[in-house]
Structure 1
């Protein structure tokens, strides 16, 4: 059964692209008063930050009974160990402050993602909440551009689900002598290839509603992300921070 999307425009502030040190957004739910839960959360975040900083991905759990907490952390597949570690350190410190006394907490950064929950979510795809950012500027030759974006996204999605690629795919396409499109797709590494493919497909299905003719767009689910731009934003090539002066709108979606 198709999910009914309630489009909640929590804010539509035009803003410059965040740096890798700033959170893109967060999700908080399920309030709690159990003090022991805080101990479990802190233990999970410490474990995740340590393990994922080395491997780029980790899951963890801590506590017993009503104090049991599950966690997951992952860095973007192209960032260095140093950048991964720095991002996860920031995220693990920021998340409990962003979601105080919330048992279901998630935070997205440009370079990493971290979450925890009292429910065991490991291995399950979650597309119930999305952060969507799109460039407010449109391209010329918009129909041809959208077709090229679609073709490139199919390629990077295929790379992301290909065994051995770590659920990560990236690629470029020369649209014309002046525009090169850069695209990326990634799933959390706890997903099976078919589940990953379904998550990425659901994310790309948001493009017609929000990304048509746009110079850049990204959809961030809990379990996967897709993104394209007309400048280098991943390693390699080029810088990962994006061009200054690009203005975006953010939309949050609940399913």
Structure 2
């Protein structure tokens, strides 16, 4: 199903942690109502139970539960730099939250700082899904846009190449010095059900949002169901640096 929704969120330096109960974003497809299908609803609960029990062991699982038209397909993935303990904590919280936020939907998705969870009554395994997006960006601009964008482009090319290497399982991250006092941090990740070429495609689409929504911004994050990309002028992935202390006000605008 092609979705026409896009959410644009404006962010002024907000750092979350793995214990947070507030997701970064959610999607509940109101066209997939399960209120009259108790079997599918039960299958979603059984699916979530399996995702909770099996995700933390290697940070990823894609599976299904049920038979025939009542089958539900699910995927859970932690960010590749997160510990198994934090991964386990986040999947448990996400499994509880997704049923509260999307109680009667067979197509639901929940993004956290360190984790992504989705299920659907239609199979999506191995398919690039960029039909729904969430974009965060810092409201402040960089002081040297020309140099910043050059360095950002080079760093993104580098870590996108890393992400599609099989050994990295869809994760790429890196840093580059912009000056003696300013460091650029960036991370990209695909869901591990994607092929190398599909991962590259998803990341290219996500990075293209930088120019549209985040041009000259100090930070930006683009979330899709199949991949996500992010850059900041402070450390946000593990291992964290000692100066990860920035926090500010969150401003949000929603565009249906």
Relative to the length of structure 1, the TM-score reads 0.91
After TM superposition, give the deviation of residue 251 of structure 1 in Å.
5.6
| Higher share in strand | 1
Distance, in Å, in 1 between the alignment partners of 2:7 and 2:84 is 36
Who is 1:96 aligned against? Answer: 99
Instruction: Answer whether contact 2:24 2:112 (CA < 8 A) is retained.
Output: yes
After TM superposition, give the deviation of residue 17 of structure 1 in Å.
4.0
Distance, in Å, in 1 between the alignment partners of 2:161 and 2:105 is 36
Distance, in Å, in 1 between the alignment partners of 2:6 and 2:89 is 33
Instruction: Answer whether contact 2:206 2:229 (CA < 8 A) is retained.
Output: yes
After TM superposition, give the deviation of residue 236 of structure 1 in Å.
1.5
After TM superposition, give the deviation of residue 66 of structure 1 in Å.
2.4
1:204 aligns with 2:207: yes
1:230 aligns with 2:252: no
Gapped regions of structure 1 (runs ≥ 5): none
Q: Mark the CA change 1:12 to 1:132 in structure 2 (over 3 Å): closer, same or farther.
A: closer
Instruction: Answer whether contact 1:146 1:213 (CA < 8 A) is retained.
Output: yes
Distance, in Å, in 2 between the alignment partners of 1:123 and 1:148 is 32
Instruction: Answer whether contact 1:183 1:227 (CA < 8 A) is retained.
Output: yes
1:61 aligns with 2:64: yes
Who is 1:24 aligned against? Answer: 24
After TM superposition, give the deviation of residue 18 of structure 1 in Å.
3.9
After TM superposition, give the deviation of residue 6 of structure 1 in Å.
6.7
Who is 1:153 aligned against? Answer: 156
After TM superposition, give the deviation of residue 172 of structure 1 in Å.
0.2
Distance, in Å, in 1 between the alignment partners of 2:188 and 2:17 is 20
1:134 aligns with 2:137: yes
**Number of paired residues?**
250
Distance, in Å, in 1 between the alignment partners of 2:94 and 2:112 is 8
Distance, in Å, in 1 between the alignment partners of 2:155 and 2:10 is 28
Distance, in Å, in 1 between the alignment partners of 2:165 and 2:96 is 34
After TM superposition, give the deviation of residue 142 of structure 1 in Å.
1.5
Gapped regions of structure 2 (runs ≥ 5): none
After TM superposition, give the deviation of residue 65 of structure 1 in Å.
1.9
Q: Mark the CA change 1:124 to 1:184 in structure 2 (over 3 Å): closer, same or farther.
A: same
Instruction: Answer whether contact 1:134 1:249 (CA < 8 A) is retained.
Output: no
Who is 2:246 aligned against? Answer: 244
Per-residue Cα deviation, 1:60-104 (whole angstroms, up to 9, x for no partner): 211112211000000000000000000111001110111110010
Relative to the length of structure 2, the TM-score reads 0.90
Q: Supply the RMSD in Å over aligned alpha carbons.
A: 2.3
Q: Mark the CA change 1:129 to 1:4 in structure 2 (over 3 Å): closer, same or farther.
A: closer
